[in-house]
Structure 1
Amino acid sequence: MRLNRRQFHALAGAAALTPWAAAQAQSASLDALHAAARKEGELTWYTVPQTSEIAEKMGRTFTARYPGVKVNVVRTTAQVAFQRLNQDLRAGTPNCDVFTSTDLAHYVDLKGRNLLLKFTPAAVALQHKRVQNMDPDGYFHASSCFMMGLIYNTAKVKGAAIPSSWNDLADPKWAGLAAMAHPAYSGAAGAWCIEMRKLYGDGVFKKFAANKAHVGRSTIDAVTTVISGECSVSAGPMSLAALQASKGNPIATLVPKEGPVLILSPTAIMAGSKRPNAAKLFLEWQLGSDDTARIAYEEFGVSLRVGAKSAPGVPGLTDAGTLLAPTPPQMVVQIPKVIELWKDAFGV
């Protein structure tokens, strides 16, 4: 079953309505989209911001909600995912239908090469205004977010020793005990590096390197490293740290006095997708469903939906104060520069 013109425009146009009206229009149109998606049977989702476990959980939950549409989950770091995507495209084997990353520059690049499908889900109208209109042209949309804050091992760091500023990561008392992710591999680390450079200048990376910071590929790795005690403090995803703390692990998180770094993860549908209806259905579900709001709460994530609650210890978009967040143009221009500065400082 294909969507007729009336159904398609009802779905896309709902994004301009009030949240309640958008929800009604979305519900009426998703049945037809599901029927079309069932004929395609599956979709492949390249994703970065979630852990592998959460990404697989999301895939299973989507299929339970929309039977007959399987999600093939491929989870890697941002730069690895983008490299794989480009390899697919060069080989003429467009495996990816839906692309979710933490590096805004990837979407600007893909859009500039006409590799993204223009599609505005009705679910956008249900999102917090802070994350709407990531791309005014409608080629990619904010689908999840988390905040980078300070995290520390509670068994090793106590009282006055607990860091309160991003600059504390350069304090000699943490020599060899601070963890950081490499911006050449992690989109979230790239965004964080941009904001550190804004705050402290080009020399900040040399300060971190002189302090013998432990370098990993992913911000997710930083949480594991702190829990293990290999490192005591880090810049890391507050949501994941809070989740691990809820399981009894020796980790805590706090908002630096300068503010947390907001990491927005866009999602786009590839223009060459052979399963466009399944991809559109998944994007509608990802951006505005009760399922994703529930999973965000259960996994200590930050929901993008208006009025959604965050788990204890996780600041939401409504109650967060100052947020440090690079814009898409800043990501495009400054990511190569911070990677260069990083490599020059750390030698890796």
Structure 2
Amino acid sequence: MGLKPKWSLIWATMLAVGLTTGCMASTSDGDSADKDGLEEKVVIYSPHGKDILQDFEKQFEKKHPHVDVEWLDIGSQEILDRVRSEKANPQADLWWGAPSVMFEQAREEGLLQPYQPGYADALPKEFRAADWSWTGTSQTPEVIMYNTREIPKGEVPRDWDDLLDPKWKDRIIIRYPLASGTMRTIYSAMIYRDYKESNRPEKGYEWLKKLDANTKEYSANPEMMYSKVARGEGALTIWNMPDTVMLKETKNYPFDFVIPESGTPVLTEGIALVKGGKHPEAAKAFYEFVNSEQAMKHLAETYYRIPTREDIQGLPAWIAETRIKSMDLDWKLLQEKENEWMDHWDQKIKNGAKQKEE
């Protein structure tokens, strides 16, 4: 996992005993306030990756020099599991980034603190919880990402079912689905395609078995997946459009993408305050900061995020010009069924069900 360098390697132990990390100056009550009335740190759980997290850490700390931003870069599912396990003694103040279905699960379990941000009027209702437990920050289309050095453009899979062609055997590398909100949603969407008519998941399971047969490995984190596909250890994967474009343009990775012709899941990425977080005022300030007009433009221009706010002007042309066919999904049903479906994948499908228990 991408743990911020200044955090100790004994993070898990420190969490368990309720200690703090970083260079925070203590006062008699355990926290002190900066000149803006904010606590001296804010703890963030996020799957956004070190580039975005380091960038916004620096920006926020420049504006609030007495607030220390501490972050843990882990997968969306890992965040949800961690917030659940820490319910009695929350260690995070803010959860930044994950599909909305995961925030809905957390909301239903009473893990989030409702908060109506200052830009509420610019946010359509479909991009937030009814009680403001979470709000959407960006929209993320899922795509087929491929190595342009390994696959000629004319031979790239054009749709989801093309990934099942035997010619792709051992050429697909996938982010380990159980730890990734993105992959859990894609897999659930593949099952839902038939489930919406039959109310049965079996055809979807068969589809995932065929994909598993073509999958060379499941990477423990996105960076490992990117590296292996870039080196040609695999030729393609399924991931999201913003990261694909960002890696291509900022890191010169030989990546491009195809938007599946039949339609693709378009996730709403969210943000939320963790209920019981120890630094609520600093968390609210960071929440507002990363969703400000300036931040939304920066995220779009630098990190290829498509904002949910309707009032952002001067966005890059690619956002206005990209045409995406959104897959029609019942998000509430996916939320209800996701764990059941993913447990089946883990126990009955993954790695040929461990080569049928060898």
With the shorter chain as reference, the TM-score category is 0.7 to 0.9
Q: Quote the residue 1:44 is aligned against.
A: 43
Amino-acid identity (%)? 18
Query: Does the aligned pair in 1 maintain the 2:93–2:280 contact within 8 Å?
Result: yes
Q: Quote the residue 1:56 is aligned against.
A: 54
Q: In structure 1, the residue corresponding to 2:115 is in which secondary structure?
A: coil
Distance (Å, rounded) in 1 between the aligned partners of 2:316 and 2:303: 8
Match of 1:223 among 223, 226, 240: 226
Shift of 1:233: 1.4
Q: Quote the residue 2:156 is aligned against.
A: 162
Q: Quote the residue 1:239 is aligned against.
A: 242
Change (3 A) 1:102 1:240: same
Change (3 A) 1:196 1:222: farther
Is the aligned partner of 1:276 residue 2:280? yes
Change (3 A) 1:213 1:169: farther
Query: Does the aligned pair in 2 maintain the 1:179–1:214 contact within 8 Å?
Result: yes
For 2:214, the aligned partner's letter is: N
Change (3 A) 1:320 1:217: farther
Match of 1:251 among 224, 243, 255: 255
Is the aligned partner of 1:80 residue 2:78? yes
Q: Quote the residue 1:120 is aligned against.
A: 116
For 2:151, the aligned partner's letter is: V
Question: For residues 164-194 of structure 1, what are the alpha-carbon distances to aligned partners after superposition, in whole Å with 9 as ceiling and x for unaligned?
Answer: 1111111111111012223311011111111
Distance (Å, rounded) in 2 between the aligned partners of 1:240 and 1:205: 24
TM-score of the superposed pair, with normalisation by structure 1: 0.79
Query: Does the aligned pair in 1 maintain the 2:173–2:236 contact within 8 Å?
Result: yes
Distance (Å, rounded) in 2 between the aligned partners of 1:80 and 1:37: 33
For 2:96, the aligned partner's letter is: T
For 1:294, the aligned partner's letter is: H
Q: In structure 1, the residue corresponding to 2:144 is in which secondary structure?
A: strand
Q: Quote the residue 1:65 is aligned against.
A: 63
Q: Quote the residue 1:293 is aligned against.
A: 297
Shift of 1:252: 0.8
Distance (Å, rounded) in 2 between the aligned partners of 1:327 and 1:198: 8
Change (3 A) 1:254 1:101: same
For 2:291, the aligned partner's letter is: L
Distance (Å, rounded) in 2 between the aligned partners of 1:113 and 1:291: 30
Distance (Å, rounded) in 2 between the aligned partners of 1:170 and 1:277: 49
Q: Quote the residue 1:182 is aligned against.
A: 176
Change (3 A) 1:189 1:219: farther
Q: How many pairs were matched up?
A: 308
Q: In structure 2, the residue corresponding to 1:231 is in which secondary structure?
A: coil
**Pairing of 1:72-151 with structure 2 (within 5 A):** 72-90=70-88, 92=89, 94-127=90-123, 129=124, 132=127, 134-151=128-145
Q: Quote the residue 2:8 is aligned against.
A: none
Q: In structure 1, the residue corresponding to 2:238 is in which secondary structure?
A: strand
Structure 2 alignment gaps of length 5 or more = 1-32, 195-202
Q: Quote the residue 1:305 is aligned against.
A: 309
Query: Does the aligned pair in 2 maintain the 1:45–1:72 contact within 8 Å?
Result: yes
Q: Quote the residue 2:269 is aligned against.
A: 265
For 2:111, the aligned partner's letter is: L
Structure 1 alignment gaps of length 5 or more = 1-33
Distance (Å, rounded) in 2 between the aligned partners of 1:179 and 1:148: 15
Query: Does the aligned pair in 2 maintain the 1:190–1:338 contact within 8 Å?
Result: no
Query: Does the aligned pair in 2 maintain the 1:184–1:339 contact within 8 Å?
Result: yes
Question: For residues 184-215 of structure 1, what are the alpha-carbon distances to aligned partners after superposition, in whole Å with 9 as ceiling and x for unaligned?
Answer: 11011111111111236422101112224432
Shift of 1:219: 4.9
